[in-house]
Amino acid sequence: MTQHRILVVDDQRTNIELIAGVFGDDCEVLFALNGERALAIAATENPQVILLDVMMPEMDGYEVCRRLKAERLTRDIPVIFVTALDDGEAETRGLELGAADYVAKPVRPAVVKVRVKNQIELKAAREQLTRLAITDGLTGLSNRRCFDEALAMEYARHIRSGEILSLILLDIDHFKAFNDTYGHVLGDDCLRRVARAIDDVIVRTTDLAARYGGEEFVCILPGTDQAGAVVIAEKIRQGIMDLAIPHRASSAEACVTASFGVSSARCVPGESALNLVAHADERLYAAKAGGRNRVETEPST
């Protein structure tokens, strides 16, 4: 194991030094002498595994584990209890709180090393499965499921903040004709290249670009007003044209283009986030009706 980070939590420095010595240079070992410090380090340093003593003053390991599992930033970090307690009830309580494993004191170096290694590998496998579950297999962008979840979360967040939330919905012009003319292999390649052009523009960590379905893509732009969303949409539109993918079956241009609908709103309690999608969809169809390869926005009020 190299370049992994583990957090050791124990009120006795000698125990921390013992476990740190087990890993040597294999891992970066962080440490905390109490529960409050452990929670702070876990939230900011994102360790791969936490080795947590059960019996500590003020806040015991059970309470630390409960708080770790209650927070979004730390709930997925595997916790291994390190304890001298030797009864089934104590072990059951820890597992019910979300602990991944137990290591008995006195610590046996080979055992603790293998158990930490196992938890790191399991965590990596879970993260890979999560990425696959929310990623479109063809384009590498987020998939529809990820978009739906992100939109609901952002809509709720924007209700609280009062900020404007914007959405861009775009559709490759005459894509069926493209597939009929050039074949599905080149059609898939076109989708991948368009996705990269979108991804090149959607650079803020708060924004999300996703494949909405077929040849449709969608972008969520938190805290962005209509004018800002139009600027981004125009950059994407020009980026797609700059790909210069030939499309002789298109009525818009001799290359692949896209039409865009932009919707921006202050989010209102009791209204559905899907209203934002519906409005963007209306503007998208207005862009198609207006000649395609253009950006349409909500009418000014």
Strand partners, 213: 216
Q: Give the closest residue to 57 by CA, choosing from 91, 33, 88.
A: 33
Q: Of 36, 91, 163, 215, which is the active-site residue?
A: 215
Maximum distance among all Cα pairs of the chain, rounded to whole angstroms = 76
Residue 10's contacts (CB-CB under 8 Å, 6 or more residues apart) are 16, 19, 31, 33, 51, 53, 56, 82
* Helix axis angle, 184-201 to 175-182, nearest 10°: 140
Q: Is 215 a catalytic residue?
A: yes
- Which residues share a beta bridge with 266? 164
Is 245 in a helix, a strand, or coil?
A: coil
Tokens representing residue 1 in the block = 């194991």
CA distance 300 to 225: 13
- Beta strands of 128-207 (E only): which ranges? 164-172
Phi-psi region of 162 (alpha: psi -120 to 50; beta: other; left: phi over 0): left
Distance, CA of 60 to CA of 258 (rounded, Å) = 58
Write out the catalytic residue numbers.
Answer: 215
